Homo-oligomer: A and B are copies of this chain.
Amino acid sequence: MTARTPADDAPDGVVHVDGVAGRPQGRESGREIPEATVARLPIYLRALTSLADQGTDTCSSEDLAAAAGVNSAKLRKDLSYLGSYGTRGVGYDVAYLRYQIAREIGLTQDWPVIIVGIGNLGHALANFSGFRSRGFSVVALLDADPQRHDELVAGLPVRPFDDLERIVAGQGVSIGVIATPAVAAQDVADKLVACGITSILNFAPTVINVPDGVDVRKVDLSIELQILAYHEQRKAIPATAADGGLDEEVTA
């Protein structure tokens, strides 16, 4: 028998892992996880949580791949970058694998997050329950507009942007969310970086420049729509108009 059985797993994500000899124990330090794989780990994590909620103890790569909406070969390869957490002939233990992925992503600790720009989107983000449930806690809301100060949003007071440095230093924040208008985004990003923030999630529809060592991820609503529009346009054309003749006499 190995170090784990479905029966002795803690009920809710808290899995005790002891380094018993004979069980492959995670990834060797040399391997780097490809970026494409990193981007899918949260999807697997969610799929595993869903399976666990349904009472599933064990699943095959085929099952999990279906739940995550990917190819099973891809799933197995992705998981292999983390280590050998499955059992051939059996599959994966849901709770165990879930914990391993969570640990790999870094969700075994709590990440304090601040949100800058409490407009429509900032409100929605502050109220978004998916943050806290996944190990992120919004510790402060900042806005440059004095009219918004001290207003309570999702139980937190909106604070002036000048409090940034104190908050970041005091709470050990390393992740910031920008939900300001586009014109303010670069300035906010600069100040976040200056205070020690090293990861930024940018909702403002503009490119922001940051120094090396700072990660930026962009979420852009209208870009996603435009990509859809491109494909939609292609569908609508009945294959005749697309074959030449369209480029002439084009006017706005």
Using a CB–CB cutoff of 8 Å, the interface residues on chain A facing chain B are 10, 13-19, 25-29, 38-39, 41-43, 45-47, 50, 67-69, 99, 103-109, 111, 113, 120-121, 123-125, 127-128, 130-131, 134-136, 174-175, 198-201, 205-207, 209, 213, 215, 217, 219-233, 235-236, 242-244, 247-252
Inter-subunit contact B25/A232 (CB<8 Å): no
Complex CA gap A235/B106 in Å reads 11
How far in angstroms is the closest Cβ of chain B from A43?
Answer: 7
Chain A contact surface mostly:
mixed
Q: In the docked arrangement, what's the CA distance between A200 and B46, Å?
A: 21
Contact B219 A221 (CB under 8 A): yes
Partner of A16, one of B19, B41, B251: B251
Tell me if A131 and B221 are in contact (CB < 8 A).
yes
Our pick among B10, B113, B252 for the contact of A99 (Cβ within 8 Å) is B252
Contacts known (A221-B125, A224-B217, A225-B113); A29 close to B244, Cβ less than 8 A: yes
Known pairs A206-B46, A229-B175, A232-B106; A248 contacts B111 (CB<8 A): no
Q: Taking the full assembly, how many copies of this chain does it contain?
A: 2
The reply to whether B217 and A227 form a contact with Cβ atoms under 8 Å apart is yes
- Of the candidates B125, B135, B232, which one forms a contact with A111 in the assembled complex, judged by CB atoms under 8 Å apart? B232
* Selected A-B contacts with CB under 8 Å, 20 pairs: A13-B252, A14-B252, A17-B250, A25-B247, A26-B247, A38-B231, A42-B226, A42-B227, A43-B207, A45-B226, A46-B205, A50-B206, A106-B232, A106-B233, A128-B222, A130-B222, A175-B225, A199-B232, A200-B228, A217-B228
Which chain B residues lie closer than 8 Å to A198 at the CB level?
A: 232, 235
Partner of A225, one of B43, B131, B228: B131
A217 smallest CB distance to B (angstroms): 5
CA of A222 to CA of B69 in the docked complex: distance in angstroms? 18
